[in-house]
């Protein structure tokens, strides 16, 4: 398992496991929808890149509210949301 911490504040952490990600990009579309009302990859606060012959990579921008909705929509267990104390 290869988990990298992608976003962290005092209250929450979003972790990404590239070994489980299939690059379906549902997380991106859902993030866009809940934040803008549109299913647009360009409007998402997280991006999944899938380099040729390499594991997927994730980036999360500063607009992320750490709501955890992208984690809820990932059917493959590639995103993990941990709430802090």
- Which residues contact ligand SF4 by CB under 6 A? 21-27, 31, 45-46, 48, 60, 64-70, 73-74, 76, 78-79
4 half-sphere exposure, CB direction, 13 A CA radius? 11
Min dist. Cβ of residue 74 to ligand SF4 (A): 3
Task: State whether residue 28 is helix, strand or coil.
Answer: helix
First-residue to last-residue Cα distance in the chain: 25
Based on CB atoms, which residue is closest to ligand SF4, 5 or 65? 65
Min dist. Cβ of residue 85 to ligand SF4 (A): 19
Min dist. Cβ of residue 19 to ligand SF4 (A): 11
State the Cα–Cα distance between residues 11 and 43, nearest whole angstrom: 24
């Amino acid at each position: 398992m290869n988990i990298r911490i992608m976003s962290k504040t005092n209250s929450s952490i979003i972790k990404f496991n590239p070994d489980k990600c299939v690059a379906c990009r549902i997380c991106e579309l859902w993030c866009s929808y809940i934040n803008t009302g549109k299913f647009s990859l360009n409007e998402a606060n997280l991006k999944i890149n899938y380099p040729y012959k390499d594991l997927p990579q994730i980036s999360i921008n500063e607009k992320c509210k750490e709501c955890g909705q992208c984690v809820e929509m990932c059917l493959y267990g590639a995103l993990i949301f941990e709430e802090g104390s």
